[in-house]
Structure 1
Amino acid sequence: MAAAGTLEQLLPRTIHKAPLSLPGATPASRALVEELLERDRATHHCFFNAIGFHNHLSHHLLAAYDLGASPALLQAAYDEELKEQNDVFVADREKGTVERQKEVLTRENWREYLGQDKYYANYVLFFSEEVKRLGAHAAFEEYVFSEQANAHGACMTERFVAGALHPFIQMGYAIEFNSPAMVAQGPSVRPA
């Protein structure tokens, strides 16, 4: 496990364009969207603003990329949405308090912090490590659909379809673009 707790580059940041996407995306736009997705994952919380709307930055970037957006347009989209994002370590959205939580989530204790937004970064790190260890498909099955994932009040399948289906949408993008890093974010985006 990555005890240091860094969210960057734990999993490959590569994406793979779907065969039925529109023409126009270039190697430069792909490289930029991969970089921007990694930056979003490493620096922004799944909720933006004090109310706690879901961060759709990655979805916006991938949709624009898939429609053939230029690197300049991708960067402009990122820069515009950046203005509203919460820090990945936000501890209190209403007060804007940023504080890195020191708890290390493990296969034994990961259920203990469910429902607490301030542990979002810890969950992304934990699920990234599990995707790396098990593979994307097996980690998703184990932490969302298994009996153990839904026992003891964890209710991960319910959490997965909660929050206006945001985790489900996140996973859809992860599957469409074959992105293990986005798979790790799927179960993390609805900790409440």
Structure 2
Amino acid sequence: MYTLSSNEFIKNPDIYLLPGITPETIETCSHLLQQNHENYHIFFNIQNGFHNHTTHNLLAALGLGASSHTLEHIYEKQKKIQQPIVPLHKKQDFDVNKCLGDDNYYHDYLEFFTKELNNEKYQGKIEDLIEDYLFNKDYLVLILGGAYHAFIHLGYALEFQSKVMAIEGLAMAAIDRVSVKDLLEHLNYNQTRDGDKTALDIIELIVNDQRFDDKVLYTDERPKTNKLLERGGGPLIAEYAQMWKPDLDDARRASILVNAAVIRPKKSPRLDFYLMHATTSSLFLNILVHSLKNKENQLKLMRAKFAVDLLYYVARGRPKLNLNYLCNEYQVSKEHSYSDAQNPWLPLIDKCLTHPDEHVLKTIRALIYAEKFDSAQDKDKLPYLKIAQMIMDALFPADKKNWAHEDISSDEYWKTVEDL
């Protein structure tokens, strides 16, 4: 059994863990991760390719100091919807290169990467295994498909030093069907100099670029990325990704704002389900980049991740970012302002741990991480607590509110949202 390497992740300067992690909670989490690994497929709805979020939920909760009881409750809730892992195929029926994109071979890829990790080349070092597969065996494009889920999985593997998560993340990347190849193949990683624009500069240019007008239609099926790429959106988005001056803080801030700043004045806050994944994945860009030994690989990963962030932003209709309203004018509800608390983060964290949708917990944790590691001076930092409080306003009560799956960029959608 692979257990979490607690000494390694607790000493990692690139992560931030709240008080509450104990040997007991680490052992509980390791046990539950192993149960999920042995019993369940990486998709809980295999027909539609919906990802098994059990491990993400457990590790996000562990990182916020959840008790063993809370971790066990999360696992019991999650396992009710999971699908059993399918049996291994005969050796002659599995080819590691020819079976890519076929979820029937998930178990086979688990076995393959387990053996890979433990061979003489990698000797159990997950950092070496991940970097080699991403940049020498063309898995970079695979981990950024599927709404970032394999990217996030590998981020957790590195953050919590979990061999199980590393194996699962690469196996997930191998069998996921949602591809971003038609975007990333147009990036030029060997350009002589980086661009000179910030992420928000580029987003503003994209909003005003009429070439995108016919690339995404209101009638397209969600999440619309496939149609956008089929209509030639890949080269256009790559063109903008090349303009970016790579910066981890800049990338993280933008990935938060494309989610949080789409709210509209005088309307109850609503947040896009797909753009939310740009935020939840933002936590792991730093961790993955800093795990890479090769400087060129670091820059490749940063630009590729930024390009995929832009892909989802365009696919969701290039919604206007109301930054001034979010940062200065939005009034947090009394319920989530926690005005009587000495530290408003604490009751907020405690409450988000109970939300039935693990994406809420993951989003709040990404904001906590951002507040900790953003290098901007105080006056230039985003109001991360306020953004977290707004997200709580948008998603609670849990039985009445949810992420928006509709076209959040359209005026027609906002007409259906109640006024504040």
In the TM superposition, residue 101 of structure 1 has moved relative to its aligned partner by: 3.1
Query: Is the 8 Å Cα contact of residues 22 and 66 (structure 1) preserved in structure 2?
Result: yes
C-alpha separation in 2, matches of 1:44 and 1:112: 23
The structure with the larger Rg is 2
Match of 1:54 in 2: 51
**Pick aligned residue for 1:24 from 11, 20, 23:** 20
Q: 2:95 aligns with which of 97, 109, 116?
A: 109
Contact 2:153-2:168 within 8 A present in 1 as well: yes
| Residues paired across the two proteins, number | 164
Mark the CA change 1:85 to 1:136 in structure 2 (over 3 Å): closer, same or farther.
same
How many angstroms apart in 1 are the aligned matches of 2:91 and 2:157? 25
The CA RMSD over aligned residues, in Å, is 2.0
- Aligned partner of 1:188 in structure 2 is 171
Structure 1 counterpart of 2:89, one-letter code: K
Give the equivalent residue in structure 1 for 2:131.
Answer: 141
For 1:66 and 1:173, the matched residues in 2 are separated by 10
TM-score, structure 1 length as denominator?
A: 0.78
Distance 2:48 2:95 in 1: 28
- Residue of structure 2 equivalent to 1:157: 140
Shift of residue 181 of structure 1? 2.1
In the alignment, which of 16, 20, 41 is matched to residue 37 of structure 2?
41
Q: Whole-Å Cα distance in 1 between the matches of residues 40 and 134 of structure 2? A: 23
Structure 1 residue identity aligned to 2:95? N
Q: Equivalents in 2 of 1:159, 1:65: separation in Å?
A: 27
Relative contact order (alpha carbons < 8 A, sep ≥ 6): 1 or 2 greater? 1
Q: How far apart, in 1, do the equivalents of 2:63 and 2:30 lie?
A: 13
Amino acid of the structure 2 residue aligned with 1:130: E
List gaps (5 residues or longer) in structure 2.
178-420
User: Cα distance, 1:179 vs. partner?
Assistant: 1.4
Structure 1 residue 25 displacement after superposition: 2.1
- Paired letter, 1:68: G
| Contact preservation (8 Å) 2:151, 2:169 | yes
Aligned to 2:109: 123
Once superposed, which parts of structure 1, at least 4 consecutive aligned residues long, lie more than 4 Å away? Answer: none
Is the 8 Å Cα contact of residues 174 and 183 (structure 1) preserved in structure 2? yes
Partner of 1:176: 159
Cα distance in structure 2, aligned partners of 1:82 and 1:132: 29
Tell me by how many angstroms 1:120 deviates: 0.3
**In structure 2, what is the Cα distance between the partners aligned to 1:59 and 1:15?**
17
Ranges in structure 1 where 5+ consecutive residues have no aligned partner: 1-8, 90-99, 151-155
- Secondary structure of the residue aligned to 1:23 is coil
Q: 1:52 to 1:36 in 2, by over 3 A?
A: same
| Gap change, CA 1:181 and 1:34, over 3 Å in 2 | same
Identity across matched positions, percent:
33
Quickly say closer, same or farther: Cα 1:31–1:46, change in 2 above 3 A: same
Query: Which residue, 70, 76, 98 being the options, matches 1:73?
Result: 70
1:129-161 Cα distance to aligned partner (Å, 9 max, x none):
111111322222332220xx23xxxxx221111
Query: Structure 1 residues 134-143 or 118-127, which shifts more?
Result: 134-143
